[in-house]
Amino acid sequence: MGAVAQDPITQKLLLDWFVDLDTPEGLRAELVEGEVVVTPVPDGHHEHCISRIVGQMYRRSQTDMLFSGNKGLKLRNAEGYPQDHVIPDGTFAPKELRLYRGADPWMPCAGVAMVLEVTSSKPQTDRETKRRCYARGGIPLYLLVDRESSWITLFSDPESGDYQELRAVVFGKPLPLPHPFAFDLDTADFL
């Protein structure tokens, strides 16, 4: 963890400041383990990977899923930090739950089946920090497309602040996705 733990008053002040933050156009701001993380809007290859995954989810998933690339998640915080506010590159939830309704740009993670991240300017954040955040939030599956290493990894079984299982394949190989998706994700187009 990169940031220093804060007392409850500092946590509250940071969270209040973050929630009221007016992020400039072209940037995304997240509050991750006590640090405000600002990143530029992703590039074309990043969006290509996301669109390929989303297309397969809609066509091949055994459960009727909805996707959001805009809603942020309010996650349980690490001890000594304000509540994490993370914007995944993608969130998948069963359609029947209707999780994406409402005007609040931040939603709780209950009911989310899987989050998706595609590495960009800060890959270590996706590989480590966000992985812990999603596990603390109890999100069952975390799919990481690591463009730098050309691997795709599915993390599962969140427990004690991290995922206990992982399955990884090099780009070009299929990645089996468990229920509620229950299909082999084709990664050939990521090359």
> Which of 97-106, 128-137, 163-172 is least confident?
97-106
Residue 119: is its pLDDT beyond 90? yes
Residue 172: is its pLDDT beyond 50? yes
Mean of the pLDDT values across residues 174-186? 97
136-171: pLDDT as tens digits: 999 999 999 999 999 999 999 999 999 999 999 999
Task: Select from 116, 99, 110, 103 the least CA-distant residue to 181.
Answer: 116
Residue 3 belongs to a domain: no
Structure tokens at 150: 């050309």
Interatomic CA distance for residues 178 and 62, integer angstroms: 10
Domain range spanning residue 67? 8-190
> What is the layout of strands, in order, in the sheet containing 162-170?
65-68, 90-94, 114-118, 141-146, 151-159, 162-170
Q: Give the pLDDT confidence score for residue 41 in this predicted structure.
A: 66
Q: Give the pLDDT confidence score for residue 4 in this predicted structure.
A: 60
CA distances to 60, 93, 161, 178, 180 from 63, in Å: 9, 9, 27, 11, 6
Strands (DSSP E) found in 14-161: 27-32, 35-40, 65-68, 72-75, 84-86, 90-94, 106-108, 114-118, 141-146, 151-159
Phi, psi angles (nearest 5°) of residue 34: 85, 0
Q: Which CATH number fits the domain that encloses residue 125?
A: 3.90.1570.10
Phi-psi domain of 188 (left: phi exceeds 0; alpha: psi -120 through 50; beta: other): alpha
Task: Select from 105, 110, 67, 71 the least CA-distant residue to 88.
Answer: 71
Mean of the pLDDT values across residues 9-35? 80
35-90: pLDDT as tens digits: 887 777 666 788 899 999 999 999 999 999 999 997 899 887 777 777 888 999 99
Q: Give the pLDDT confidence score for residue 182 in this predicted structure.
A: 97
Q: Give the pLDDT confidence score for residue 1 in this predicted structure.
A: 44
Residue 182 belongs to a domain: yes
In three-state secondary structure terms, 81 is coil
What rounded mean pLDDT belongs to the chain?
Answer: 89
Q: Give the pLDDT confidence score for residue 83 in this predicted structure.
A: 83
User: pTM score > 0.85 for this model?
Assistant: no
The number of distinct structural domains making up the chain is 1
Interatomic CA distance for residues 185 and 173, integer angstroms: 9
In three-state secondary structure terms, 66 is strand
